[in-house]
Structure 1
Amino acid sequence: MHSLVPPARARLEKILAQLDSRRDDERVFVKVYADAARRDADAADRRAAAGASLGPLDGRVVSIKDLIDIAGEPTLAGSIIRRTASPVTADAVVVERLRKAGAIIVGKTVMTEFAFTAVGLNPHYPVAGNAFDRQRVAGGSSTGAGISVAEGTSEIAIGSDTGGSIRIPAALNGVVGFKPTARRVPLQGAFPLSPSLDSLGPLARSVSDCAIADAVMADESPVAPEPMPLRGLRIGTPRGQLFNSTEKAIAEAFERSLAKCEAAGAVITDCAIDDLINAMAEATSVGSIAGIEGSRIHADWLHEETLDVDQRVRWPLLRRLSVTEADYIGLMQRRRLLVEAMDQRIGAYDFFAVPTCPIAAPPIEAVETNDAYYKEVEGLLLRNTQVANQFDLTSISMPMPEMTLPGGLMLIARHGADRRLLAMALSVEQLLSKAV
């Protein structure tokens, strides 16, 4: 019986031809492993012909973010100052697991420097424009991951998410992005930003592909869960500051999506979490967790003023170097109490639903030329997504239908409820895909 899916080599060659056609102006990939990918694709096709498939990821074309180790080369993490770093001796754990499952690693995708910013600009590389409109930002820090999936130069992309870095580019480029519970997927071999908040997760065109890639990376059975019926599911909508300054098109698409869930039998309830968000903002007034932890990771070079580093990365990290260990410990103790309080709050629901980002992708020129506007955009892009990281939750963004520029619907669930969230997201995706 012939598969409806073209062989891995044929799908790969189509991608490589697309990349080759723009090789003089490549903005999405910083490295392409054409020869190794061809060998892996041929091996996948031989297994398929012999009826010896390694599972649903076998022969799928996967890109990885530029902070994930590939043996034999330095890991740049979006920074040119790391070009002189020693080559790593082993693949990252997630790459080992992806290869073992038959995935074809096609290349490394561009990211913002050290994964610290969310708009999608990296001064060391030409700006990679949004897949829907090259004049607009693609979001960060997993910038190339979102574009590569949306434009078809990878079938699945692996990114990292510390405050929204998977879900922001997913929302702005119209694809699915999944942030697992922190520490569920091993971080060994991924250049850190904030060990307390970092997660590695997939972006793809479907929830099912994200679920399969996530399972492989978490060393679980590589299958998508069964969709969980929406009837009777309790959806909490934390109206309040997470809905402020939301663009009209995104607000309307969100309400349409929510209404479809309600029509399918879900129980929608407005709820309040502003008190917890405000308490977390107060706790982090000494400095963000990512900023403080990142400043320790980068302490050895932050005082070197002559280094060619994005100043939007260097200055916030340099400021956080002065936060004392006592203040940091106090912040993390306060965070633990707030995480417990949020767990109780979200425990009354199957998931929270909010817009992933309150705005669609703004024009690149507008954020490049106006620093105040850049800061405003970055704050808005991170505002909703960072809640899941700060409160140690799991979260997924999926595209909302009937939009001119892409916007994301974000579902947030309890710590450790990853597979259950994916099962519910599969049903929401099916429902939204019926929209004309």
Structure 2
Amino acid sequence: MKNKPTLATLAEDLEGGRTSARELVDQCLARIADASGEGIRTFLHVDREAAIEAAEAMDRLRAARAAPSPYAGIPVSIKDLFDIKGQVTRAGSRALEDSPPAEADATAVARLRRAGFIVIGRTNMTEFAYSGIGINPHYGTPKSAWQRDVGHVPGGSSSGAAVSIADGMAYGALGTDTGGSCRIPAAYNGIVGFKPTQRRVPLDGGVPLSFTLDSFGPLARTVGCCAVLDAVLADEPVRPLQPRPIRGMRLAVPTTVVLDELEDEVARTFERALEVLSRQGALLERIAVPEFLDVAAMNVKGGFAASESYAWHRYLITSKGDVYDPRVSSRILRGESLSAADYIDLLAARRSLIARSTVRLAPYDALVMPTTAITPPRIADLADDKAFTKANLLSLRNCTLINMIDGCAISLPAHREGGAPVGLMLAAASGSDRRIFELAAGMEDVIRV
């Protein structure tokens, strides 16, 4: 991301008077409005007037040396899954279009505003966050930043969030991650996406997919940008990020599940990144993680996503099921056949999975693996349901493992400039968020060589 503005450089430019919040907002609005770009498919609502008013207010506060943070005045996008006071939260669906406007901001949105970030608009997403692909038949599908003339999927479910960053329509994005929905679109658009330890960011004010697995996280251009946004979302102090030296990093490469069915380009890029890390002094060990084999069995009937989404949707889908994307409604309805005993078994199995995985990961600083098994497929190739299902599973598989073990993870771009986008994921057990950021900061400028 060299020569592209980051939150740190923007904060410096704002402080030094080299730019203003109004200028940043105007630039983002112009990119969104560009008829040749993806703005019309990336944003479901652009908060133009409110963003301009907020920018002018932040400029006055900065002039009075009363800006709420160094980042005050920087535009961010908000996934359509989050409540924003006075706006309807549609979650990428037609089924919620007639819902009343939200009475208050989601906590995550409120915390961004409190730091002075400016909400530029609501971004498109997979309907009800139920896919890793990012296709939305209701509002259109924003194209991945890669080979836009061809038209590749953006990744889901935070599709518009990622494209808003890749195209400079915002400088930070708020997304969600239930099985990879921050990391997959980050990988498919060549940016950074972070899934925090779930308990760190409150889930109120967001339409749920799975109460058990949902987490709210940032997408941005760099690791440092994501670290700033993550701290704000978790209501923690924004501390300087100290990159860890690669020499001496203890990294485990799982050989169970995560390397299966890799697309050739993903395999080559991943192995090249590992070679670079090894040459730089990282201590790499390929290990079996048999716990990962348990996840497919836990999800065979639809898992937490089906059971918990059905609980939330069961009345809405009865009255408005005809306006749902059939690829979404069919997955939600799998939860109808799950019994209370099935759900209790799931909870017990996950507790065991977390405990055993935590022990397995303890000797290492992080797991390292491909974020997805494939590069973003062409949108046109996924009209067939069978092709869609396969691509969706291969997009979600590796990321889902980390949600299931209650871990935290980050996706970094690992491909060379101009190549097919491939993400490298660093992951660790619950509560290891700061360490993951330090490790990622130490390697983000190295692994794309």
The bucket for the TM-score relative to the shorter chain is over 0.9
Counterparts of 1:57 and 1:155, CA distance in 2? 11
Cα deviation digits, residues 245-303 of structure 1 (max 9, x gap): 21222212212212222222210000111x21222222333332111111111111334
Counterparts of 2:243 and 2:412, CA distance in 1? 15
Counterparts of 1:388 and 1:193, CA distance in 2? 16
Return the letter of the residue paired with 1:13. Answer: D
1:423 equivalent in structure 2: 438
Query: Is the 1:57–1:212 Cα contact (8 Å) retained in structure 2?
Result: no
1:72 equivalent in structure 2: 86
Q: Describe the shift of the 1:305–1:102 C-alpha distance in structure 2 as closer, same or farther (beyond 3 A).
A: closer
Cα deviation digits, residues 73-92 of structure 1 (max 9, x gap): 22111111101112111001
Cα deviation digits, residues 349-407 of structure 1 (max 9, x gap): 10000010111111110002x21111110010001110110111000001014151211
Secondary structure (helix, strand or coil) at the match of 1:102 reads coil
Q: Describe the shift of the 1:21–1:285 C-alpha distance in structure 2 as closer, same or farther (beyond 3 A).
A: closer
Secondary structure (helix, strand or coil) at the match of 1:301 reads helix
Query: Is the 2:303–2:346 Cα contact (8 Å) retained in structure 1?
Result: no
Return the letter of the residue paired with 2:312. Answer: I
Q: Describe the shift of the 1:337–1:104 C-alpha distance in structure 2 as closer, same or farther (beyond 3 A).
A: same
Counterparts of 1:4 and 1:270, CA distance in 2? 50
Structure 1 residue 349 and structure 2 residue 383: aligned?
Answer: no
Query: Is the 2:257–2:293 Cα contact (8 Å) retained in structure 1?
Result: no
Secondary structure (helix, strand or coil) at the match of 1:227 reads coil
Return the letter of the residue paired with 1:40. Answer: A
Matches within 5 A, 1:159-170: 159-170=175-186
Secondary structure (helix, strand or coil) at the match of 2:299 reads helix
1:111 pairs with one of 125, 132, 137: 125
1:372 pairs with one of 361, 383, 386: 386
Structure 1 residue 94 and structure 2 residue 128: aligned?
Answer: no
Return the letter of the residue paired with 1:266. Answer: A
Counterparts of 1:9 and 1:431, CA distance in 2? 35
Return the letter of the residue paired with 1:294. Answer: S
Return the letter of the residue paired with 1:222. Answer: V
Cα deviation digits, residues 219-243 of structure 1 (max 9, x gap): 0002342112222121000023211
Q: How many matched pairs? A: 432
Return the letter of the residue paired with 2:334. Answer: R
2:217 pairs with one of 178, 186, 201: 201
Structure 1 residue 322 and structure 2 residue 337: aligned?
Answer: yes
Secondary structure (helix, strand or coil) at the match of 2:300 reads helix
Structure 1 residue 217 and structure 2 residue 230: aligned?
Answer: no
Return the letter of the residue paired with 1:58. Answer: A
Stretch moving more, 393-402 or 21-30: 21-30
1:263 pairs with one of 276, 279, 282: 279
Secondary structure (helix, strand or coil) at the match of 2:446 reads helix
CA drift of 1:166 comes to 0.6
1:247 equivalent in structure 2: 263
1:405 equivalent in structure 2: 420
Secondary structure (helix, strand or coil) at the match of 2:200 reads coil
Query: Is the 1:393–1:415 Cα contact (8 Å) retained in structure 2?
Result: yes
Percent of residue pairs bearing the same amino acid type: 41
Structure 1 residue 292 and structure 2 residue 311: aligned?
Answer: no
Stretch moving more, 195-204 or 399-408: 399-408
Stretch moving more, 7-16 or 382-391: 7-16
1:32 equivalent in structure 2: 46
Counterparts of 1:309 and 1:223, CA distance in 2? 43
Secondary structure (helix, strand or coil) at the match of 1:302 reads helix
Secondary structure (helix, strand or coil) at the match of 1:398 reads strand
Q: Describe the shift of the 1:269–1:197 C-alpha distance in structure 2 as closer, same or farther (beyond 3 A).
A: same
Q: Describe the shift of the 1:224–1:143 C-alpha distance in structure 2 as closer, same or farther (beyond 3 A).
A: farther
2:403 equivalent in structure 1: 389
Counterparts of 1:332 and 1:153, CA distance in 2? 40
CA drift of 1:171 comes to 0.2
Stretch moving more, 222-231 or 30-39: 222-231
Counterparts of 1:88 and 1:14, CA distance in 2? 28
Counterparts of 1:411 and 1:290, CA distance in 2? 24
1:44 equivalent in structure 2: 58
Query: Is the 1:149–1:155 Cα contact (8 Å) retained in structure 2?
Result: yes
CA drift of 1:306 comes to 5.6
Secondary structure (helix, strand or coil) at the match of 1:241 reads coil
Return the letter of the residue paired with 1:386. Answer: T
Q: Describe the shift of the 1:123–1:53 C-alpha distance in structure 2 as closer, same or farther (beyond 3 A).
A: same
Query: Is the 1:71–1:87 Cα contact (8 Å) retained in structure 2?
Result: yes
Return the letter of the residue paired with 1:213. Answer: L
1:235 pairs with one of 225, 246, 251: 251
1:180 equivalent in structure 2: 196
Stretch moving more, 15-24 or 305-314: 15-24
Query: Is the 1:57–1:213 Cα contact (8 Å) retained in structure 2?
Result: no
Structure 1 residue 136 and structure 2 residue 152: aligned?
Answer: yes
Query: Is the 2:44–2:139 Cα contact (8 Å) retained in structure 1?
Result: no
Counterparts of 2:266 and 2:314, CA distance in 1? 40
Query: Is the 2:415–2:423 Cα contact (8 Å) retained in structure 1?
Result: no
Q: Describe the shift of the 1:5–1:133 C-alpha distance in structure 2 as closer, same or farther (beyond 3 A).
A: farther
Secondary structure (helix, strand or coil) at the match of 2:317 reads coil
2:20 equivalent in structure 1: 7
Gaps of 5+ in 1: none
Stretch moving more, 168-177 or 125-134: 125-134
Counterparts of 1:182 and 1:25, CA distance in 2? 30
RMSD after superposition: 1.8
CA drift of 1:305 comes to 7.1
